[in-house]
């Protein structure tokens, strides 16, 4: 049974959920030192809030680059699963990255889109994500294993499958605009150093 037919294929079929809760549920499922790249916007705030891990990388700028950074880690460490957590505004800024991922087809890459239909961190201005369904864009970019999470339980099921079976995967989540529960400590050199140690590149 295909990924898409088991889960909603359209944005309007997906439940609007809490970003903090979904991020906690994702992190709770990570048991093999999987790498997670938290995008600019509130994605990295909630990743920080879900519990700091040495395999987390928190982006402090460079809007749109969570998927490319995750792809780079995935290429360098093919036996490690790598997750990109990216907001809809950021994803829209670097849509070509989806096509690049599709062309390379890394089996160990999972893209989780956190779509609140807004540039929340800059004041909640609407994005084009309610017009351009990002999961449909991903599928049209060549990423066949792309679907929306129907609800919290469905999201966890998709995460578990994506952590075990060959990707690349794109999991769309609709999220609300609740204020984030935490703020990332803005110390880029420390973030990078810890991440490299967490990936076993530095000792």
Partner 1 sequence: MPSPEAPAAGAPWYRLAIDAFKAHDIRLVTYVPDNVLRPLIEAVHADPFFTAFATTREEEALGILTGAWMGGTRGILLMQTSGFATLPNAIASLAVPFQIPLLMMVSERGTLGEFNQGQALVAKTMRPVLDALALEHHTLSRLDEVSFILDRAIRQAVATQAPACFILSPLLTGGKVFAA
Ligand X SMILES: Cc1ncc(C[n+]2csc(CCOP(=O)(O)OP(=O)(O)O)c2C)c(N)n1
User: And the tokens for 200?
Assistant: 């076993």
Are 67 and 86 a contacting pair, CB within 8 Å? yes
**Contacted by 76, from partner 1, ligand X, none: CB < 5 to 8 Å by type:** partner 1
DSSP-assigned states of every residue in 61-111: S-TT-HHHHHHHHHHH-TTS-EEEEEEHHHHHHTTHHHHHHHHH--TTEEE
Q: Does 173 bind ligand X (CB under 6 A)?
A: no
Strand partners for 86: 113
Among 56, 120, 146, 173, which residue interacts with ligand X (rule: CB under 6 A)? 120
Q: Does 94 bind partner 1 (CB under 8 A)?
A: yes
**Contacted by 123, from ligand X, partner 1, none: CB < 5 to 8 Å by type:** none
For residues 118 to 157, the per-residue mask of contacts with partner 1, x marking binding by CB under 8 A and - elsewhere, is: ----------------------------------------
Q: Does 113 bind partner 1 (CB under 8 A)?
A: no
User: How crowded is the C-beta side of 88, counted as CA atoms within 13 Å?
Assistant: 29
How far apart are CB 109 and ligand X at their closest, in Å? 19
Q: Which DSSP category does 122 fall into?
A: G
Q: Token pair 């439940």 is at which residue?
A: 15
**Contacted by 182, from partner 1, ligand X, none: CB < 5 to 8 Å by type:** none
User: And the tokens for 201?
Assistant: 């590149």
Residues at the interface with partner 1 (CB under 8 A): 35, 37, 57, 59-62, 64-65, 67-77, 80, 94, 96-97, 99-100, 103-104, 188-189, 191-192, 195-196, 199-201
């Amino acid at each position: 049974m295909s990924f898409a037919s088991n889960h909603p294929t359209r944005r309007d079929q997906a439940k609007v959920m809490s970003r903090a809760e979904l991020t906690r549920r994702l992190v709770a499922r990570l048991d093999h030192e999987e790498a997670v790249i938290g995008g600019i916007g509130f994605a990295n705030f909630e990743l920080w809030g879900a519990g700091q891990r040495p395999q987390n990388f928190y982006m402090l700028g460079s809007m749109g680059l969570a998927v490319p950074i995750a792809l780079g880690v995935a290429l360098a460490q093919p036996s490690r699963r790598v997750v990109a957590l990216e907001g809809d505004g950021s994803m829209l800024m670097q849509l070509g990255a989806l096509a690049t991922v599709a062309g390379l087809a890394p089996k160990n890459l999972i893209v989780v889109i956190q779509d609140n239909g807004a540039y929340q961190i800059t004041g909640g201005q609407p994005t084009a994500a309610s017009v351009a369904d990002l999961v449909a864009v991903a599928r049209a970019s060549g990423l066949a294993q792309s679907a929306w999470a129907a609800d919290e339980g469905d999201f966890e099921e998709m995460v578990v499958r994506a952590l075990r079976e060959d990707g690349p995967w794109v999991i769309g989540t609709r999220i609300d605009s609740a204020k984030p529960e935490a703020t990332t400590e803005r110390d880029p050199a420390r973030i990078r150093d810890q991440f490299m140690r967490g990936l076993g590149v530095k000792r």
